[in-house]
């Protein structure tokens, strides 16, 4: 047991590292770390299972700082508890170019940062995925290998963001009882008092979503400990409302918005040192305090070693599967299964929508990749994301491999990030491409973090038909292609669909999206090819050595390109067709390959039932684009394609006009 005096000194170490780092950077948020130092001290010294010497230990507790603006809290904790890659020099370099200590915590910059946070609400929603993954893996591998908690520190801003509602209702429904959220109830945001903008009864809100709630004094160590004990014994997720004073200890600024997002200033820091009895110079921690923190960092070493012994004693097959999955490696049987399936497709030549082709591909993939965890945002029958292997997960049965996310696109995307970050599972889920707008902030963070999540995005164009312009994505491929490190696939048929799935799975450090059709498509690829052609991003589908016209298309428009090529050939105009399933992969090929694929035809034409943006990199600024310049309309798909001039006849006319 830590004495009240020692607790106070240990908590003050966090406070002064935070205020000194923010002061040196002349930028940052000192108030939250100062206010939450007591909660963090109790959690990290008495409850959190973690090991700075083995930071990726699979059964560690997860700690998510959802209020990421208070990043100096986590940086201070990592330094104090002895993470080797967080030094006092890193603390001094807070918010400087190239430093691990970025303005908001970034996954991959330093050990112990479980996820990138900063956009408010993302942390708590991502943590739902971590807690979900723990419960799923505990069901699969047993509590001897997966039995840990997910802790979150969230602020008022996190709870005001709409994504938090999606997150807490999903967590409550699934009874993720090993998720414990601390609400930093300090009553202050940037503009001033929370009462300026919000009067929500957060306890009632959480309870209505199936959570326990506890209210405590966030500066009383024993009250904090008692709340954690109560939460750990619950059969529901728990929200602990910790009433804190933002900027605790600052005589003139504590409890005000002045300490939220600005340095305290030299005078206020000096006054705080006096008020809290801290006589050390900036960035200096008394030896006895640092020793106490380092001992806290070693507290879980035995727990971790006991876990390693249990893993070593496990059945060899189970141990190998567990280690493979947490290493992020795919089973060796995947390539053979995909190859056999491609041979079958070359024989059967199915005419199907690519959403159905995706389901068929998943039937093969889910049979050999046991770690896939599917789902949909209430569109299972439309997205075709459920296969024979993926029984539904329910609040009382986590043996399945399919999550009904409900109509919670943003919460779903964030939870998928958490599942991927947790390890041991590969999440994929479905929605309409149009509603990727609702997922976009989480997709962007997945790309920023470099994690493997796969979004199945169906109804990918005006081809969805009668639902009309509210549901017809015209700018969405361009918008998603604008996100760095995101792979966006738009396959043309069943063969391309399984190839795109394979590439998405093989990219361990990139998220992917598959844009898939509602309407049936004739096969573009009719011959078996061992190589994964989609892995090159674009490839020549129909060649012509003397081509005067090069036609480039993606997805459903490849069918139009093939028909146009046939019509041009009949007119004596040699033409070639290039399928472009993935811009990003194509532009990562070497210059010679790109030049060979783009070619030197007199006329370049691009076809996509979306806007032109992005296509000039392939067809050139003087190339012709057959696509959308406006929103869509309500009507049968074939009529819409004629109405908007996305037809083989339009391609032929455009080519002839350019050649004239």
| Beta strand residue intervals within 88-243, DSSP E | 150-154, 179-185, 188-189, 192-193, 212-217, 238-243
Which candidate, 571, 594, 583, 579, places its Cα nearest to that of 655?
571
- State the Cα–Cα distance between residues 439 and 424, nearest whole angstrom: 23
- State the Cα–Cα distance between residues 168 and 210, nearest whole angstrom: 8
122 Rama sector, left if φ>0, alpha if ψ -120 to 50, beta otherwise: alpha
Polymer length of the chain: 660
Which candidate, 605, 588, 596, 603, places its Cα nearest to that of 540?
596
| Beta strand residue intervals within 476-581, DSSP E | 487-489, 512-516, 539-542, 549-553, 575-579
- Of the residues 409, 496, 559, 608, which is catalytic? 409
User: Measured on CA atoms in the order 354, 590, 346, 427, is the torsion positive or negative?
Assistant: negative
Query: CB–CB of 655/603 below 8 Å?
Result: yes
- 3-state helix, strand, coil split of the chain in percent (to 5) is 45, 15, 40
| Beta strand residue intervals within 315-432, DSSP E | 372-376, 402-404, 426-432
SS3 assignment, position 644: coil
Tokens of 51: 């090991």
Q: Is 161 a residue of the active site?
A: no
Which candidate, 528, 531, 530, 556, places its Cα nearest to that of 345?
528
**How many angstroms separate the most distant Cα atoms in the chain?**
91
Q: How far is CA 466 from the centre of its chain?
A: 32
The single residue listed with the structure tokens 């059945």 is 315
415 to 112, 117, 659: CA distances (angstroms): 19, 13, 52
State the catalytic residues: 409
């Amino acid at each position: 047991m830590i004495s009240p005096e020692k607790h106070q000194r240990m908590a003050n170490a966090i406070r002064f590292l935070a205020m000194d780092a923010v002061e040196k950077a002349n930028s940052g948020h000192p108030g939250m770390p100062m206010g939450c130092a007591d909660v963090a001290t109790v959690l990290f010294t008495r409850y959190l299972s973690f090991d700075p010497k083995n930071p990726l230990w699979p059964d560690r507790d997860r700690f998510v700082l959802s209020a990421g603006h208070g990043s100096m809290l986590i940086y201070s904790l990592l330094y104090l508890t002895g993470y080797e890659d967080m030094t006092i020099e890193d603390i001094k370099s807070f918010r400087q170019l190239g430093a691990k200590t970025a303005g908001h915590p970034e996954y991959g910059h330093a050990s112990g940062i479980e996820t990138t946070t900063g956009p408010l609400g993302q942390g708590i929603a991502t943590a739902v995925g971590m807690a979900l993954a723990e419960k799923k893996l505990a069901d699969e591998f047993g509590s001897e290998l997966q039995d840990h908690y997910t802790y979150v520190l969230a602020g008022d801003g996190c709870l005001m963001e709409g994504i938090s509602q999606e997150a807490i209702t999903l967590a409550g429904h699934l009874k993720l009882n090993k998720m414990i959220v601390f609400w930093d109830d300090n009553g202050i945001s940037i503009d001033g008092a929370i009462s300026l903008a919000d009067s929500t009864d957060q306890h009632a809100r959480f309870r209505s979503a199936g959570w326990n709630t506890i209210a405590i004094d966030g500066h009383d160590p024993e009250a904090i400990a008692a709340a954690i004990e109560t939460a750990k014994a619950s059969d529901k997720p728990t929200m602990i409302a910790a009433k804190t004073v933002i900027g605790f200890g600052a005589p003139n600024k504590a409890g005000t918005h002045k300490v939220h997002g600005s340095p305290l200033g030299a005078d206020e820091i000096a006054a705080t040192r006096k008020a809290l009895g801290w006589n050390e110079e900036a960035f200096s921690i008394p030896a006895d305090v640092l020793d106490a923190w380092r001992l806290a960092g070693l507290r879980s070493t035995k727990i971790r070693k006991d876990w390693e012994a249990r893993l070593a004693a496990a059945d060899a097959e189970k141990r190998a599967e567990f280690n493979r999955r947490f290493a992020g490696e795919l089973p060796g049987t995947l390539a053979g299964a995909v190859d056999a399936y491609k041979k079958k497709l070359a024989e059967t030549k199915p005419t199907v929508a690519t959403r159905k082709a995706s389901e068929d591909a998943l039937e093969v993939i889910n049979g050999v990749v046991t770690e896939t965890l599917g789902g949909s945002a209430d569109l299972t029958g439309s997205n075709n994301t459920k296969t024979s292997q993926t029984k539904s997960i329910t609040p009382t049965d986590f043996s399945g491999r399919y999550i009904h996310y409900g109509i919670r696109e943003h919460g779903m995307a964030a939870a998928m990030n958490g599942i991927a970050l947790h390890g041991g599972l590969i999440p994929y889920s479905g929605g309409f491409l149009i509603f990727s707008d609702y997922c976009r902030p989480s997709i962007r963070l997945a790309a920023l973090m470099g994690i493997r999540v796969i979004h199945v995005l169906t109804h990918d164009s005006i081809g969805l038909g009668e639902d009309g312009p509210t549901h017809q994505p015209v700018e969405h491929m361009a918008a998603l292609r604008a996100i760095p490190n995101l792979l966006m696939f738009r396959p043309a048929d069943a063969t391309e669909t399984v190839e795109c799935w394979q590439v998405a799975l093989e990219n361990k450090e990139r998220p992917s999206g598959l844009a898939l059709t509602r309407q049936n498509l004739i096969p573009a690829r009719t011959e078996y090819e061992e190589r994964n052609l989609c892995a090159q991003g674009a490839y020549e589908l129909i060649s012509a050595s003397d081509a005067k016209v090069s036609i480039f298309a993606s997805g459903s428009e490849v069918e139009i390109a093939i028909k146009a090529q046939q019509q041009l050939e009949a007119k004596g105009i040699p033409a070639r067709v290039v399928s472009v399933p993935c811009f990003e992969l194509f532009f990562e090929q070497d210059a010679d390959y790109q030049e060979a694929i783009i070619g030197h035809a007199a006329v370049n034409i691009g076809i996509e039932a979306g806007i032109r943006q992005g296509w000039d990199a392939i067809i050139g600024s003087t190339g012709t684009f057959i696509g959308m310049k406006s929103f869509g309309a309500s009507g049968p798909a074939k009529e819409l394609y004629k109405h908007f001039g996305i037809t083989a006849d339009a391609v032929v006319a455009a080519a002839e006009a350019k050649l004239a």
